[in-house]
Amino acid sequence: MLPMPSALNRTKASNLADFRVLLDRVRETFVLGQQKIEELKVQTYWEAGRLIHEHILCHRERADYGKEVVLKLARSLSVGDDLLYRMLRFYEAFPISASRRKLTWSHYRTLSRVTDENARLELEKRAARESWTAEELERNVRLAMSRQPESERDGAYASAKLLDPKKGRPGIYRLVSDGEGLAVDLGFACYQALNRAQARGLNANDFVSFFLDDRLARVADATTADLYTYEAEVVRVVDGDTLWVQVWLKSPLWLKEKLRLRGLDAPEIETDEGRAAKLFVEDQIKKATRVFVTTTKPDKWDRYLSDVFLTLPGGEQVFLNNLLLEQGYAHRLDKVTLGDWDDAL
């Protein structure tokens, strides 16, 4: 036999017949749940950072051990090494127990980059006291850093300066020796071998361009700054600083590649600021009639950073990287790690 509902439960059930009561109750439950999730995330990331920090201290005599153990953990846990580095920086920046921390992980991710301890703690107090959003904290951190002498600024925020764009010339390639003859370096580790007729009169390290009939011509005024620039089509915007693109290496050859925008970092996609940055990028790309990318390969993992240029209907060309910095949707970050690349297609 089922128990009879109590008078209190019957009252609650009756109240829930009113949609406005339902809305208020669900909103209250949702907000409270989100607060608890954020508190748990902060505590979890702080504790993980503490464990990594103490383990590294046990092996302090081994050069580069910290980097090795973070990469090993990332592979074993199937998480990005950048997230682990952020946890480590979080603990090192705030070694006092995480139970005393009052802000969200997005706040602490930003605060952990502030190298001056007094400035960092003061910004934390103000953010909690004045209920700053993560975006408001980001703006105040940039403002605080801009008032410091450049030599004293935190590396992540040292550059309120904009980027110097890297834009080459689409269709310019360099010849390389493939051991038996010459090949065209198309970029992205793709090469087109030349037959004897095509290679006649050309040498390794020559800069060349293709004619429509696949003949090659030397480009005498080209330099290395002209290389690795392509017309592209954006397949998907992953977040404010990462794109999946279809890159036209040389018609009809193309490949699909994930590119990280050079020199900047946008907020995490699960935050309101991160979603706003993604929408901003999507809106800018929708306006563009053509997209060009210039790529840079900074490390051994075959990851490509990119300068992205959007041609607008009136013919004006916009440097997307700097536009994000100018509009406050991203901040300068010149060092990128493996975990910054989202794995999703």
| DSSP, residue by residue, 265-317 | EPPPTTSHHHHHHHHHHHHHHHH-SEEEEEEE--STT--EEEEEEEE-TTS-E
The pLDDT of residue 35 is: 83
Cβ neighbours of residue 61 closer than 8 Å, sequence gap 6 or more = none
Neighbour-count burial of 161, counting CB atoms closer than 10 A to its CB (0-12 exposed, 13-18 middle, 19+ buried): exposed
Cβ neighbours of residue 75 closer than 8 Å, sequence gap 6 or more = none
List, for residues 175-192, the tens digit of each pLDDT value: 999 778 999 999 998 999
The pLDDT of residue 2 is: 44
List, for residues 257-268, the tens digit of each pLDDT value: 999 999 898 888
The pLDDT of residue 342 is: 45
The pLDDT of residue 337 is: 53
Cβ neighbours of residue 340 closer than 8 Å, sequence gap 6 or more = 80, 82, 241, 242, 260, 265
The 8-class DSSP code of residue 4 comes to P
Give me the helix-helix angle, 81-93 and 65-77, nearest 10°: 120
Contact 175, 192 (CB under 8 A): no
Which of the four CATH numbers 1.10.10, 1.10.287, 1.10.3470, 2.30.30 does domain 13-152 have? 1.10.10
The pLDDT of residue 243 is: 95
The pLDDT of residue 140 is: 82
The pLDDT of residue 148 is: 55
Q: Residue 322: how many CA atoms within 13 Å on its side-chain side?
A: 11
The pLDDT of residue 160 is: 45
Task: Write down the domain spans for the chain.
Answer: 13-152, 173-225, 229-340
pLDDT < 70: residue spans in the chain: 1-14, 144-161, 298-302, 334-345
**Could you tell me how many residues make up the chain?**
345
Flag whether the pTM goes above 0.75. no
Beta bridge partners of 157: none
Per DSSP, the three-state class of 178 is coil
Query: If one looks up domain 229-340 in CATH, what number appears?
Result: 2.40.50.90
Contact 99, 43 (CB under 8 A): yes
Amino acid present at 190 = C
Q: Which residues of 113-136 are buried (b: 16+ CB within 10 A; e: fewer)?
A: bbbeeebbeebbeebeeeebebbe
Instruction: Map tokens 């907020």 to a residue.
Output: 267
Q: For the chain, give percent helix, strand, coil, nearest 5.
A: 45, 20, 35
The pLDDT of residue 253 is: 92
